[in-house]
Chains A and B, each alone.
Chain A
Amino acid sequence: MRGPELLRGTAVIYRRELSGLFLQPVAWVLLALGLFLNGYAFPALLIATKGDADAAFLYAFRSGFGWISIVLPPLLTMRMISEEARSGMLEYLLTAPVKDGALVLGKVLAATTFMAVLWGGAFVLAAALAACGAAIDWPRLVLAWGGTVLASLVFCSAGLVASALAATPVVAAFLGMMLCAGIVLLPTFVDRLAFASRATRRALIERIDLAGQLEQTFLRGMFDSSTLVLLVSTSAVLLVLCTRRLEMQRWRS
């Protein structure tokens, strides 16, 4: 009973949030901006890699991972809980026969789908290159895209946590960006701290470095289950935090 209920609720919320995202002008602006910047930067990357399309895509995903992941997910998720709490929609949703987990999952999957569409611009560029006669390693590109979307799931989850914590969307966006930046920069912080030997620190960094692991595995066309587990479990922890926050909101409201 619980599984199907969770799935049904997730699907209903997902559908609503996704349509809500695509009904917002800001989402289209972000999408256009992301695609424009990708398209603008890609020829330069192609020149830098001396025409190696696969290497150019690796750089494109890696460089995009830095700023796009820090800025866009919090902008997408900022309204999802904080604005609904302000407008009273959260009360409506939390009294519907839907689990809190389904609510959170539906929202984060909708934001991640939006990010998947954004990252999907790479396929347009690849198709254009293929049409011009370039040899594209399609399975590698798909894996790189899939890994980046999974990483986006982590950042959208962080953005959603920020939205649940903040009272207004603007604060949620700022907090979300800080959280996302923290996730990206965590290995650097750990490296700077002199709490253990360098070898221990390196071992720890290897385990928590999302960007590094992604670059070494998915972006290079390798499916790696440990990276998959790291990304999914990090998202799960953040989503559980978000659900707990909603439960707290019930107690405090």
Chain B
Amino acid sequence: MISVQELVRRYGAFTAVDGISFEVGRGEVVGFLGINGAGKTTTLRILTGYMPATSGTVRVAGFDLARQSLEARQRIGYLPEGVPLYRDLRLSEMLEFQGRLHGLDRARIARRVPEVLAEVGLGERARSLLGDFSKGMRQRAGLAVALLSEPEVLVLDEPTSGLDPLQRAEVRELVRKVGRERTVIFSSHILSEVEAVAERVIVLHRGRIAADGKPAELARTLGGASHVRCEAVVGADVEAALRLLRALPGALRVAHGGRLGIHHVFRIECAEDLREDVGALAAQRGWALRELSFQRPTLEQLFARIALELPQSAAGVEAPPASASANEEPTSGLVMLGASSAAPAARAAPAAPSAASAASASAAPAAPAEKPRVVYNLNPFDQGWKRDLGAPKAVEPPDSVPPS
């Protein structure tokens, strides 16, 4: 239904879409995923004929968009981001205008208007002014406009942008419903939405396709391995604990994620759930467990890895709660979250990196040298019984911050 070959779009020296190629079959629901500026909207605008490509070819329903633009556009229903509608028109008038734009005759318009209104759940509001509509209703009205001409391809740019969770669910359900009958391409940066609606995800990053496939498959193959997270008191010999964990059948890789107070954090990569094995080992060795959880890779991890341009192996690696040096020279938990937290966050790739951690990772190398900070050690186990908990302790910031 849609064939895109070597699509390039440049704005001066900036390349927004950089040689992407993909095919979308009839009846497929495809989600375009990517951070802001990844090239989603530009690609969709080219697909709808709004914007010409710098090079490459786009065919919609067999029509070359560059040479047979009108024929291709005739087969596309487009809901741009922001849902442009004439505020001075009533909903039925807007739909009639859309019908005339697409060359529908009166009888077909008269038949289609109540049909699409029923489909989007706005049958009661046909005579209402579009200017009076709430954002959610506008979104549904925009969808009705896009659906009126019974297009073979439906292109939706951020269809749930700016909606509250309830309205998002409504629109998501609508997209799912229309996706049963026609090809739907929609863009979003809300991962749950794409996972819930799309059969296939195309992840764009810096104008290129970073991943393309079914959401679950992508998460499994590219999002990183499944892992068991374990927080336990293992005593002083961490290496011995690591050796035991590595010896577990099915453990692919074991990483020590530092310390959280008296507990050590371990991340055991595995294909299957190893919680029972780890639990049994802990019971046998007398380790006090605080957390034992199994985590499967998610699309979110894949998205984060692509967005932050991390290697695949780093996709699921958690930020260690303490700096690497914490093992040799324990410091307090309060310091880790403050002055010296940038270093470990930058050194180890976060599992589900937030904007804040990304910012701290990128900002850390440029940060000026910090003065020693006075903190209170809240963890009596870190310093032993000799530590005077009431006295402040000066903590030196790290000398240098390693690159992320």
- Name A16's contact: one of B73, B84, B97 (CB within 8 Å): B97
Closest to A93 in B: B101
Q: A77-94 vs B: 1/0 string, CB under 8 Å?
A: 000000000011101111
Shortest Cβ distance from residue B219 to the other chain A in the assembled complex, whole angstroms: 33
Q: Is residue A203 contacting chain B, with contact meaning CB distance below 8 A?
A: no
Identify the B interface with A (CB < 8 A): 11, 45, 48-52, 70-71, 73-74, 76, 78, 80-86, 88, 97-98, 100-103
CB pair A97 B50 closer than 8 Å = no
- Least CB distance from A75 to B in Å reads 17
Taking a contact as CB atoms under 8 Å apart, the answer to whether A95 and B76 are in contact is yes
Q: How far is the CA of A20 from the CA of B131 in the complex (A)?
A: 14
Does residue A8 face the partner (Cβ distance < 8 Å to B)? yes
Q: Are A95 and B49 in contact (CB under 8 A)?
A: yes
Say yes or no: is A131 at the interface (Cβ < 8 Å to chain B): no
Contact, CB under 8 Å: B73 / A96: yes
A118 is an interface residue with CB less than 8 A from chain B: no
Expressed in whole angstroms, the minimum distance between the Cβ of A251 and any Cβ of chain B is 7
Inter-chain CA distance A96–B78, complex, in Å, is 9
Kindly provide the distance from the CB of B155 to the nearest chain A CB, expressed in whole angstroms: 9
Quick one: which of A20, A23, A97, A253 contacts B101, CB cutoff 8 A?
A97
Closest A residue to B12 using CB positions: A252
Chain B residue nearest to A94 (CB atoms) is: B50
Q: What residues of chain B lie closer than 8 Å to A93, measured between beta carbons?
A: 101
Measured between beta carbons, the chain A residues less than 8 angstroms from B45 are 91, 253
**Which residues of chain A are within 8 angstroms of B73 by Cβ–Cβ distance?**
95-97
**Residues of chain A at interface, number, CB under 8 A:** 25
Q: Which residues of B contact A60 (CB under 8 A)?
A: none
Contact assessment for B78 and A95 in the assembled complex, using a CB-CB cutoff below 8 Å:
yes
A243 CB → nearest B CB, Å: 14
Q: How far is the CA of A74 from the CA of B271 in the complex (A)?
A: 70
Q: Are B101 and A12 in contact (CB under 8 A)?
A: yes
* A12 contacts B50, C-beta separation under 8 Å: no
Question: What residue in chain B is nearest A2 (Cβ atoms)?
Answer: B70
The residue in chain B whose Cβ has the minimal distance to the Cβ of A89 is B84
Distance in Å from the Cβ of B63 to the closest Cβ of chain A?
11
- CB of A250 within 8 Å of the partner chain: yes
Cα separation A142 to B11 with both chains bound (whole Å): 52
Residues in A neighbouring B103, C-beta threshold 8 A: 8, 97
A23 to B88, Cβ gap below 8 A? yes
Smallest CB gap from A11: residue in B: B100
For the complex, is A165 an interface residue (Cβ under 8 Å from B)?
A: no
Asked whether A5 and B86 contact (CB < 8 A) given A91-B80, A92-B80, A250-B52, the answer is no
The residue that A88 contacts in the complex, of B48, B49, B84, B101, with Cβ under 8 A, is: B84
CB proximity of A131 to chain B, nearest CB, Å: 38
Q: Does A241 contact B (CB under 8 A)?
A: no
A96 and B97 CA atoms in complex are apart in Å by: 11
In the bound complex, how far is the Cα of B74 from the Cα of A5, in angstroms?
A: 12
Q: Does A98 contact B (CB under 8 A)?
A: yes
Of B51, B83, B98, the residue contacting A250 (CB under 8 A) is B51
Q: Does A99 contact B (CB under 8 A)?
A: yes
Q: Are B70 and A97 in contact (CB under 8 A)?
A: yes
B97 cross-chain contacts in A, Cβ below 8 A: 12, 16
CB-based closest 8 A-B pairs? A88-B84, A97-B74, A96-B101, A97-B73, A95-B48, A12-B100, A89-B84, A92-B84
Closest to B97 in A: A16
A16 to B84, CA, bound (A): 15
Residues A97 and B52 in contact in the complex (CB < 8 Å), given A23-B88, A87-B84, A92-B78: no
Residue of B nearest to A8 (CB): B103
Question: What is the distance, in angstroms, from B161's C-beta to the closest C-beta of chain A?
Answer: 12
Give bound CA distance, A87 to B85, whole Å. 9
Which partner residue on chain A sits nearest B51 by CB separation? Answer: A250
> For the complex, what is the distance from the CA of A9 to the CA of B80, rounded to whole Å?
21
Residues in chain A near residue B102, CB distance under 8 A: 96-97
